[in-house]
Chains A and B, each alone.
Chain A
Amino acid sequence: MTILEVTGLRKTYTTRFGGNKVEALKNVNFSVNQGEYVAIMGESGSGKTTLLNILAALDKPTAGSVILDGQDLTKINQAKAAAFRRNNLGFVFQEFNLLDTFTLEDNIYLPLVLAGKSYGEMSQRLAPIAEQLGISGLLKKYPYEVSGGQKQRAAVARAIITHPKLVLADEPTGALDSKATDELLRLFSAINQGGETILMVTHSVKAASQAKRVLFIKDGEVFHQIYRGDATSEQLYQKISDTLTMLATGGEGR
């Protein structure tokens, strides 16, 4: 079942001085099925961040549509967008984006509190998630007291505690060391196996090689995609590397 359908997405920026137009996204089309784990790769400036902002309803496209579970994101107004994000999307950012005035526990509760849930329900929901993410003992700590990996796990907990239709991850391993990266990627796979749909934007071949499908964006278009199929992570890693090399050397392929 298709949960996300992106068609003919275009985004043009006008620079502040003069009328120079920059086309961040030209024509993006792809779809994601329920329970999928998709990685989007591309170089800096390829339009990844723009795409993610549009998927997150933080930005509006110039043309095209994004349909999440039957609802067109591009038609939602600003006031409703926040509630929509809260109820349907979970976010994991490179810089964790935890509020330093909250304990990890309160940071994780934030979206639920905004949705008006009671404390009893929230703590009931948190227990298994904290267990799975291995942060049960850290809940009363403040962000500045824990490591980057631990912060990111708390951020993942915050993203999935609302049972979102789609988890958007923006370079989730970008600020982590290799050990924490491995740990986080393992958790992502586990969460995906638990039924969550994940869309991850990344630079890291290692991170992408854990996904079930990898999309490549170049110059504002989906340029290529690789399905994992029966391949192991190592084989996928190799395939991705080859594709990236080809992209960099400017080969024509599809």
Chain B
Amino acid sequence: MSLSLSRRDPLPGFGLSLGVTLAWLSLIVLVPLSALALRPWELGLSGILGVLSDARVLAALRLSFGTALVAALANLPLGLLVAWVLVRLRFPGRRVLDAMVDLPFALPTAVAGLALTALFAPNGWLGAPLKALGITVAYTPLGVFVAMMFVGLPFAVRTVEPVLRDLGTEAEEAAATLGASRPQTLLRVVLPALAPALVTGFGLAFARAVGEYGSVIFIAGNRPMVSEIAPLVIVQRLEAFDYAGAAAVGLTMLAISFLVLLLLGLIQARLRPGGRA
């Protein structure tokens, strides 16, 4: 398609809609991000590298991104299962379950963090039996993982659910009449059809988990080099009036997140029908 602004365009409003979109996006996304991108250079390149080579910063970045990736990945099968139950099964209480899925969206994150901490603390309902098994959740990276899964789950469910509903049961029935077993039908018919939605759900859950602050810091314990997340490092630098250092960590997070989301976008383009052509 050409970028023609001709009035004979069959779908009018091209110029107007593109103009408004770019202006709006600039105002609320690009300008703040540019400020973030410009600020660290006060330190000079060597100063930025100095901030980033700090072992504590590196450990926090590794924890934030590594755990967010694993949590988003773990949310996929769980999200798929919940979406499947909501779409395919009819049982009393289905609407309650449906509403419950959105609770992590609605709950103030600090409340979620406190609740999870109370639950998984060494004397909590789940923490105590887990401790007996030798597993400590609260104040460890595992706690970070649990909080990140909690906030990311609704994204995995809500992106897969409409696609699964739209898929219907006919394609699966067709696969059965053609001789496919249940596992074959799931692997060759259902999952490929859901794959683009799963990638989107993964991306959203990942993005949310990386940026999550409130619910994570309570359960994480924030021990430097062990369970300290990158957003907390930023906050600490801000509190120490090291604005440029905070921005340097922030810019790094932005760059890594952007790369991950870009990669997911490319994967998704290949998963769409015709994408392999």
Q: Is the A/B pair a real complex?
A: no
| Chain B residues in the interface with A (C-beta under 8 A) | none
